[in-house]
Each structure stands twice: as structure tokens, then as C-alpha cells.
Amino acid sequence: MKYGPTHLEIFLTRLAFFFCGRSVYKAFANCLPLNGGEQVLDFGSGMGTVAYYAAKRLPRGHLTCLDISERWLDACRRTLRGYKNISYLLCRSPELDKDSFDVVYCHFVLHDIPDDELERVIPALAGALRPGGVLAFREPLNDTDKISLIKCLAEQNRLTARDSRITDIPMMGNALECLYIKK
């Protein structure tokens, strides 16, 4: 089965990036706890809208963009073509090296993953974090059951909530932003 966006979805995402990039994607990237030398995973990178801003904050670090769609990763490569500190990973089910990332972030991704897959994804993301590492996510608030599941799975996998807030995202509505720390 092929996973990926339609040409219209890519076009609409590019429009949102162009018109709302700073207020939506840069604002989230700026909330990430980065000092410049971290190993970071963008889980579900899409066309690299958050990665565009996160990569700028990693002059000595490295960003890995992971997506299940080759079409999204191609769009991501185009968005990030000026950066040298980025690698790309096409992966349907994350099989990540243990303790390999300081920060893992997901922007409007986890809510689209079926519950049974989330039960595999969240442990994989938690396992990929180094001790003291951070899982950051922003998800729409319209599905409270999904958010409750994400939080529960994070806590079951030795992640402790450090910070959360509700924010209004232009064109997307209310969202929950959370930071979890690996014990």
C-alpha cells in the first residue's frame, strides 16, 4: 500500500507554509528545547515545515526527517535543500536505534495514527530518546480520546510530562502542545 499526499495536499501545505510559516511552524520549532548540538528526530516530517525552522537551530547538531511517504520526503528535501545537517528516513513502522535522539518531535501527526499502531509508535519513540531526552508534540484538541491515549502511552513508557499548553493555531484551531522528558 502506498502512503502519501495528493498533489493538492502538497500544494495546500506549501500555501500554509508560505502564509503561516512563522506563526505556526516556527512558533512550534522555537518551543523545542534546542541548544544547537542535539540529535533530533522529526517524526512525520511531511514537507519539512517545522524542520525548516528546527534545522536553523542546530548548527552543530543533526536532524533526521522521518515519514512514511516518499512523496512527502521528496517535498521535504526540496524545502530543506540548503541544509547539510539533515538526513531522511522512509519508514512505515519506526525501527529506531535505542537512545539515539535528544529530542523527538511530532507536529499534527499522532492523531492520524490508528490506536493500535500508536501502541507501537509511542514506545519506539520513547526508546529512541536518550535519558533526559524530550518528546514534544502538538496535536489538535478536537479528539480528546486520542490525546488521552497519547499521554497514557507516553507515561507508560517512562516519559514524564514537563510542560503543556493549549494554543490557537491559525487555520488549524486549538491545539495541545506537550513536552515529555525521558526518565
pLDDT reported for residue 50: 96
As given in the structure block, the three cell numbers for residue 163 are 510542560
Please report, for the chain, the start and end positions of each structural domain, with discontinuous segments joined by +: 7-182
Cell readout for 110 is: 499522532
The pLDDT value given to residue 160: 98
| β-strand partners of 160 | 181
Three cell numbers at 123? 514506545
Q: What is the DSSP string of 40-103?
A: EEEET-TTTTTHHHHHHT-SSSEEEEEES-HHHHHHHHHHTTT-SSEEEEE-SS----TT-EEE
Residue 20 exposure: Cα atoms within 13 Å on the Cβ side: 13
Q: Sign (positive/negative) of CA torsion 127, 128, 131, 135?
A: negative
Residue 149 has what pLDDT?
97
Instruction: Write out the chain's pLDDT in tens, 183 residues.
Output: 456 777 778 777 777 777 777 778 999 999 999 999 999 999 999 999 999 999 999 999 999 999 999 999 999 999 999 999 999 999 876 778 899 999 999 999 999 999 999 999 999 999 999 999 999 999 999 989 999 999 999 999 999 999 999 999 877 789 999 999 998
C-alpha cell at 86: 539533515
Terminal Cα distance for the chain, rounded: 37
Residue 3: the pLDDT is: 66
Say what the pLDDT of residue 148 is. 96
Q: Residue 137 in contact with residue 150, Cβ under 8 Å?
A: yes
* Residue 2, pLDDT score: 54
How many Cβ atoms are within 10 Å of 35's Cβ, its own excluded? Answer: 10
CB distance 102 to 182 below 8 Å: no
Its CATH class, for the domain covering 7-182, is: alpha beta
Inter-residue contact 182 to 159 (CB < 8 Å):
yes
